[in-house]
Structure 1
Amino acid sequence: MPDQPTTPDLPDPRTQYHSGEFPEQTHEWPGFDHKLDPKADHGESTYRGSGRLLGRKALITGADSGIGRAVAIAFAREGADVALNYVASEQDDAEEVAALIEQTGHKAVLLPADISFEEPARGLVRDAVSALGGLDILVNNAGYQQSCEDLSELTSDQFDKTLRTNVYAMFWITQEALPHLSEGASIINTTSIQAYDPSPHLLDYATTKAAINNFTKGLAAQLAPKGIRVNAVAPGPIWTPLQVSGGQPPQAVPKFGQKTPLGRAGQPAELAPAYVYLASAESSYVVGSTLHVNGGETSP
């Protein structure tokens, strides 16, 4: 009998990425990828594209690190030109992402802006359209998250900044982008497991993520007749600078993500394929949906 084909070893999702404890660490906001210990995996050495976004033009907010960085790398390797938005102090991280994009032969545009204010947020879209020569993918990913253990200590300033960064910016940027989007375009918003299972210390952040869910579904129904699809991705606990720059209490960092059924935090690289799917024509019948990438945590 001929030799039977061998089955390749399948990666165990429990240990496919970092599965131990994290060193306790605190970074100054907004956090920097190059200071994170251990480094997050954005798919730099693993993501392989197949031309699913060839010729597309994408704007991604919060693209210097974390999920946004992973999505930018994946989009470029799938054939897209990418405009990267970030806070100005994150310039070094953003330049690293731009270099990775340019290695694919596609265009990277660096657009620092504080999108918690209306004019910079709207100007970001205008600058992206001008530099890219159009726009057909918008990823509203940037987020502000600061842990606060007691409602009595949650200031109006923090509550306002969280809503402005996570909700108002999404509204401003999406509204400004709409005149440039035509049929076949895709809008993808980053929500969170926090929208469904809010942590007591993240009341303001969780509130914004629930709002993003509703905004996504309502806008999806409004734009579907125009051939523009709107969807969302809901990450679980993902290892990014957001977590160690005030997003989690310092004492919670070592065991971050270990209560998930998989027993570990996720990595940004594990999120990027969901965004690629929602941006590509492969998801042409997916409208107003939320993809949950959360290690098995309970979600609707």
Structure 2
Amino acid sequence: MTETIVDPRTKYHSDGFPRDTGSQPGLVTETTPQPDHGEDSYQGARRLTGRRALITGGDSGIGRAVAIAYAREGADVAISHLPAEQGDADDTLEILRATGRTAVSLPGDITDEATSEKVVRDAFEALGGLDILVLNAGYQRSRNEQAAFSTAEFDRVMKTNLYAPFWMVRTALPLMPPGSCVIVTSSIQSASPSPELLDYAMTKAAQVAFVTALADEQGAAGIRVNAVAPGPIWTPLIPATDWPDKLPKFGQDTPLGRAGQPAELAGAYVYLASEDASYVSGAVLAVTGGKHL
């Protein structure tokens, strides 16, 4: 069978997007047009059979796309998410369970240290082990000039994007056998920071350093550590970022001329978790529509 060649410029929505809601957390039901998480398009090839994965922020967006791909590749999956995102999480679980794999929802606010640690331990217990940790949950808001935003907001970004991954890795590593992997969702913001995402960009640059150092440290234990750096991807987080002036042209400044969809990142996470990437560690894989890191 010959696979049809698809023009990447027109594969998905290439026009502007409607005005944002400005409300957090972003929910799939409030996102127009709704993102493609691979619900109908991703076909697995049993590349992760028997693996056990925890995906933070797995209710929607990139996390849901990764969860769907992992389950269809044969992995059992636990997703963590905020309690307010339970509706999206339930929809994700329904898709995962249709594959016949174990699928677990772990609600909680991971900006709390004890909750972060509990999510890891609960995933380990529910899945009977843990060998893939995807640190994907993230928080961003558009910021005013002169860094005119509160310390409480700064703390929320730091705790979601940096503290929680640290707490979770610290808890997970003693539970993960050789051959396991950690995958962090970084961002093109790590290398090309936008002023209105000042604090978010700070965390994404720090995540790259975290991945590099942790990969160096954990190589001796047989654990690989990598990152995926998305460009402009249409997820529920985007219309909740408070970007009314940016959404009409969101993603159109990429060489491919459009925003990406969560489903277009799933393959990168599958690759980094699979045996195909057994010699890949400390890498940052860009999925940016052609934008340079």
Query: Scaled by the length of structure 1, what TM-score is found?
Result: 0.96
Q: 2:23 aligns with which of 17, 20, 28?
A: 28
Partners of 2:234 and 2:261 within 8 A in 1? yes
Cα offset, 1:7, TM superposition = 6.5
- 1:198 and 1:251 map into 2 onto residues whose CA distance is 18
Q: 1:259 aligns with which of 238, 253, 259?
A: 253
Q: Matched residue of 1:40: which SS? A: coil
In structure 2, the residue matched to 1:40 is 35
In structure 1, the residue matched to 2:288 is 294
Q: Which runs of 5+ in 2 are unaligned?
A: none
The 10-residue stretch of structure 1 (134-143 or 152-161) with the greater mean CA deviation from structure 2: 152-161
Q: Which runs of 5+ in 1 are unaligned?
A: 1-5
Instruction: Say whether residues 1:177 and 2:172 are aligned partners.
Output: yes
Name the CA shift for 1:275/1:7 in 2 (closer, same or farther; >3 Å): closer
Cα offset, 1:151, TM superposition = 2.8
- 1:103 and 1:271 map into 2 onto residues whose CA distance is 21
In structure 2, the residue matched to 1:3 is none
In structure 1, the residue matched to 2:60 is 65
In structure 1, the residue matched to 2:44 is 49
Q: 1:100 aligns with which of 79, 95, 98?
A: 95
Q: 1:275 aligns with which of 263, 269, 277?
A: 269
Instruction: Say whether residues 1:132 and 2:138 are aligned partners.
Output: no
Q: 2:201 aligns with which of 195, 203, 206?
A: 206
- 1:79 and 1:27 map into 2 onto residues whose CA distance is 37
What amino acid sits opposite 2:150 in the alignment?
Answer: T
What amino acid sits opposite 1:204 in the alignment?
Answer: D
Q: Matched residue of 2:286: which SS? A: strand
Output one character per residue of 1:67-106: Cα deviation in whole Å (capped at 9) or x when no partner: 0000000000000000010000010100000000000000
Q: Which stretches of structure 1, 4 residues or more, deviate above 6 A after TM superposition?
A: none
Instruction: Say whether residues 1:225 and 2:220 are aligned partners.
Output: yes
Instruction: Say whether residues 1:240 and 2:235 are aligned partners.
Output: yes
Q: Matched residue of 1:59: which SS? A: strand
Q: Matched residue of 2:226: which SS? A: strand
Instruction: Say whether residues 1:91 and 2:64 are aligned partners.
Output: no
Cα offset, 1:9, TM superposition = 4.0
Cα offset, 1:153, TM superposition = 1.3
- 1:152 and 1:137 map into 2 onto residues whose CA distance is 36
Partners of 2:211 and 2:282 within 8 A in 1? yes
